[in-house]
Amino acid sequence: MAMLLSLLAFLGSAVEEGLPPEEKKKIEALIEVVEKLPGAKMLRNGAEYDAKTAGRFLRGKWDSSKKQIKSVQDFLDKAATVSSTSGKPYEILFGNGKKVTAKEFFLEELERLKKKE
């Protein structure tokens, strides 16, 4: 019985610390949008990365920051828009040559997602 109570307490705390499913879904959707950008690049610390590589990077950064990320806004603030190494903002370079900050891009995409709900 004590073991069952301990297990339930552990599972309860894991759920509290976890990301709400609706927030996780939004983060996944934002990363998928980046991965599917035709001809786009993510500019990070002076280097260019294709869309698929950018998606893998964002997933890795999200995974390494999971304890700090409790919402899509946390993901944007702590993982997806600024280098934790240099402090420089990430940018998205579209196939047509237009460049925007990753923050601007993700906020616009988040608004589109909200309109679809």
**pLDDT value of residue 34:** 96
Has residue 85 got a pLDDT over 80? yes
Structure tokens at 42: 């993510």
Burial pattern 18-39, b for ≥16 Cβ within 10 A else e, equals ebeeebbebbeebbebbbebee
Cα torsion for 37, 39, 40, 44, to the nearest 10°? 130
Q: Read off the pTM.
A: 0.82
Contact predicate 101/21, CB 8 Å: no
State pLDDT tens for residues 25-58: 999 999 999 999 999 999 999 999 999 999 999 9
The residue with tokens 């923050």 is 103
Predicted confidence at residue 7, as pLDDT, reads: 44
Q: Across the chain, what does the average pLDDT equal?
A: 88
The residue extents of the domains of the chain are 19-116
